[in-house]
Amino acid sequence: MNEGKNLDFIPITAIFGIPHSSYGLQLGTMEEFVALTIYSGKKLQDIKKFTGTRPREIDTHEIVSYVLLKLLIPNINPRGIDKTVRALIAQLRKRLNLEDN
């Protein structure tokens, strides 16, 4: 991981744990685009900026696929990751006042 890369990350959500794992996810922004951080315990493992994706245009499946690709944990439940990502997106939208009317 590029050490200076996380300096541009602005966290918006809390860190949400992935069920039955020691990993956590957090959403924020980098240069106006959605960004995701992956933690193992309290240690930052990865950060990913979804270029071209603004907070209003988040694709749950794109984030879940990325997390599954990076974690490589045998028998991890994709549904648990999906639920975590959906909760993060809901919190992000609420904090940015992007809730659907």
pLDDT of 1 reads 45
Quickly count helices (H) and strands (E) in the chain.
Answer: 2, 5
Counted domains in the chain:
1
Domain presence at residue 83: yes
Query: Which pLDDT score, from 0 to 100, does residue 69 have?
Result: 93
Does any domain span residue 100? no
Residues of the chain with pLDDT under 50: 1-3, 101
- pTM of the predicted structure, to 2 decimals: 0.86
Domain-located, residue 19? yes
Residue 30, pLDDT score: 92
Provide the residue range defining the domain that includes 56. 3-95
Q: CA 94, CA 66: separation in Å to the nearest integer?
A: 23
